[in-house]
Structures are given as structure tokens and as C-alpha cells.
Structure 1
Amino acid sequence: MTMQDTDRALVQAATAVAKLRCRSQSHTVASAARTADGRVFSGVNVQHDSGDTCAELVVIGAAATQGVTELETIVTVTDRGREVVEPCDRCGQVLGAYFPSLRVIVGKVDDLRVVPIGGLLG
């Protein structure tokens, strides 16, 4: 799928969070997701000796606290926003189960594209 202006804006939102909040080993990845009505939710991963929580799962929780039951598009960035990464297998499974029509932004920063979550699974 082709990138739209709203998709580029979502990458910029995740990048802004990464640059601002991913400054330690505790937070190294940021994610941002958009709803169909244009609301954007973001989050960062949480790394700790007791276990890690991915940024995508933090975003799901942030959206859920605001009553959101459907996300349209998600992107995850690392290296303070210099690299776009695919969700890990666990997050891909959770995202696919919660939002089967979710679109995921993937690729290199200078060559991004949008794929359905189902295209990343299995």
C-alpha cells in the first residue's frame, strides 16, 4: 500500500516521541498508532530486569484507557527515530488479534510502505 500524508505524520509522531523519551536503556523504542477518526496514541517500551514490555503494547493500553477499540495504523521506531522496525512476533500476534484490519508502516526510513498486519504474521 502507498504511504499517505497521514502515514508520514504518524512516523513523525513516533519519531518525536523517540527523540524526546528514548534517552536511556529503559526506553529505546517508540510507537504511535492512529484511529480512523485521526486520534494518535504513542508509547515507549519499558525494559527492566524483571521483563520487557514493547512500545506497541503500551500504545494499545494508552488507547484502551481512552475508550478506543479500533486502531487503523501503527508504526514503531528505534534509534531515536532513525529506523522504522516491524513489530516483534509477540506484538504482531497481539496486534493481529485485537485489530485484524490494522495497517503497519514498515521499511527503511527513505523507503516506507504500509502493509496489513496479516502480511507480517506467520
Structure 2
Amino acid sequence: MRIPSRELTPEDHELIETARRIVDAHTDGPDGVHTMGAAVRAADGSVHGGINLYHFTGGPCAELVALGTARAAGARALTTIVAVGNLGRGVCAPCGRDRQVLLDYHPGIRVLLPTPEGVRSVLIEDLLPGAYAWSPQG
């Protein structure tokens, strides 16, 4: 099955660069636990970042930290998110847990991820077809 995607905008490239700067500045290196940076853009144009907090109990991924950072800053409508790996690994796709959280809280969000055509923008709904239907409202 082919997932509908679109080419990146200049704003998407800026978001990737923000996530890359976060992980480059805060990574622990090849044996460290802070290995992914993320950036999310809000509808008002503000950008919020995060870095993963790996822990043996399953600490949050960089995407979830970025969502929390955005929420703490008052950004509720989010439009685009990206995660970038340390040591030059580039843009990485979100894990299944992140996909479910993104779909539940921001069903219209676009996710930047690697595809056979290069890094593209994909709607979260297209990344998680047949997802469990849950909402914070119950």
C-alpha cells in the first residue's frame, strides 16, 4: 500500500534543522541515551523542541517531549512534527506509540519521515490506518 505524501515546504526544512540542532547539541554520543531530537510547529508558527529521555522503564520519545513542551507553552493546535537521530542519522519515522498519541491528540498533524522518494510529509491518519479510537474526552 502506498501512503499519500507531499514534498517538503521551506518551513518543513526549517523544522528538520531545528530538530537536528537539538539532538546535535544534547546527544550523549554513540553510547548515550539522548539520541533523538524532535521539533513541532504550531498553527501560530511557533516551534517547540524536545529530546528523548530514554529509560529502562520506557521513557518518552523525543516527539512526546516536544508535544509536552508545546503544550506547556500554550500551543494547542499543532501542524507538523519531525524527529531526527543523532550522529547524522537524519529524519526518522515515529514509533507506534508516538503515532497513536499523535493521532489521538492531533489528528490533522503532518509527520515528516523518510520514504523511498526521500523525506516527505504524511498525514498521521495515513500512518496509522485502523487505529484504536481513543480521545481524551472519553
Q: Please report the TM-score for the alignment, with normalisation by the length of structure 2.
A: 0.81
Shift of 1:70: 1.3
Instruction: Number of aligned residue pairs: give it.
Output: 121
Conservation of the 8 A alpha-carbon contact between 1:15 and 1:82:
no
Structure 2 counterpart of 1:102, from 99, 106, 109: 109
SS class of match (1:61): helix
Q: Report which of the two has the higher share of helix.
A: 1
Paired residues for 1:1-122 under 5 Å? 1-24=6-29, 25-107=32-114, 111-122=118-129
Conservation of the 8 A alpha-carbon contact between 2:82 and 2:91:
yes
State the superposition RMSD in angstroms.
Answer: 1.6
5+ long unaligned stretches in structure 2 = 1-5, 130-138
SS class of match (1:92): helix
Distance 1:75 1:51 in 2: 20
Q: Please report the TM-score for the alignment, with normalisation by the length of structure 1.
A: 0.91
Distance 1:65 1:28 in 2: 23
Distance 1:49 1:117 in 2: 27
Conservation of the 8 A alpha-carbon contact between 1:14 and 1:81:
no
Q: Residues 76-105 of structure 1, C-alpha deviation per residue, up to 9 Å, x if partnerless?
A: 011334321111001100001100100011
Conservation of the 8 A alpha-carbon contact between 2:37 and 2:86:
no
Q: Residues 2-25 of structure 1, C-alpha deviation per residue, up to 9 Å, x if partnerless?
A: 210000000000001111011242
Conservation of the 8 A alpha-carbon contact between 1:92 and 1:120:
yes
5+ long unaligned stretches in structure 1 = none
Structure 1 residue runs of 4 or more that deviate by more than 4 Å after TM superposition: none
Paired letter, 1:74: I
Q: Identity of aligned pairs, percent? A: 38
